[in-house]
Amino acid sequence: MRLSVPRHWRVKGPLYRLEAARCKGCGRIHYPPAAACPYCGSTSLERVRLSSRGVLESYTVVYSVPEGARHASPVVVGLVNLGGVRVVAELTDVEPGEVSTGMSVEAVLRKVREDGEAGFIYYAVKFRPALEAGRGE
Ligand SMILES: [Zn+2]
């Protein structure tokens, strides 16, 4: 458990900025960025920034949420295509009945938990329906 905080701080920058890694070996992009390419094992990687807007390709509604997170139940988990890179993330600000494949979504940061003892607040990238569809960045 002692390792969870430093690890979080090490990876949080890339997560916040939707930074992914492009493999110079096989050209594929993975997210979140790992030290080695999950497809070919190459460690020759470069950072790329994903678009914060994407299209929901598919989703699933999860009703059996772990103890401690039941207030958030049910949870909608989506497969979001960000300019060709697929990311699996929770959807937010939307009711399960309002979700449909093909809808435009945008990334937002949401608090996921607090560690009062250590004084840390943890955030995660989630996706919500894009409020102003078509306004690019
Ligand atoms: Zn690779």
pLDDT tier, 136 (very low <50, low <70, confident <90, very high otherwise): very low
Average pLDDT, the chain: 83
CA 56 to ligand 1 center in whole angstroms: 25
Considering the domain boundaries, does residue 137 fall inside one?
no
19 and 86 together in one domain: no
83 and 99 together in one domain: yes
Range of the domain at 35: 1-50
Q: What is the pLDDT of residue 126?
A: 92
* Cα separation, 17 vs 82, whole angstroms: 13
Q: What is the pLDDT of residue 35?
A: 93
74 and 40 together in one domain: no
CA 79 to ligand 1 center in whole angstroms: 21
For residue range 39-49, list pLDDT tens digits in order. 999 999 999 98
CA 43 to ligand 1 center in whole angstroms: 8
Q: What is the pLDDT of residue 69?
A: 65
2 and 63 together in one domain: no
61 and 120 together in one domain: yes
With tokens 């914060």, the residue in question is: 52
Please give the share of the chain, as a percent, with pLDDT higher than 90.
46
Q: Model-level pTM? A: 0.74
Considering the domain boundaries, does residue 20 fall inside one?
yes
Considering the domain boundaries, does residue 71 fall inside one?
yes
Count of structural domains within the chain: 2
Please give the share of the chain, as a percent, with pLDDT higher than 70.
80
CA 33 to ligand 1 center in whole angstroms: 12
CA 134 to ligand 1 center in whole angstroms: 32
115 and 55 together in one domain: yes
26 and 73 together in one domain: no
98 and 55 together in one domain: yes
112 phi and psi, to 5 degrees? -105, -35
Considering the domain boundaries, does residue 136 fall inside one?
no
CA 121 to ligand 1 center in whole angstroms: 33
| N-term to C-term CA, the chain | 39
5 and 67 together in one domain: no
Task: Answer whether residue 133 shows pLDDT above 60.
Answer: no
CA 53 to ligand 1 center in whole angstroms: 25
**How deeply is 14 buried, as exposed, middle or buried, from its count of CB atoms within 10 A (0-12, 13-18, 19+)?**
middle
Mean of pLDDT values over 115-128: 81
60 and 30 together in one domain: no
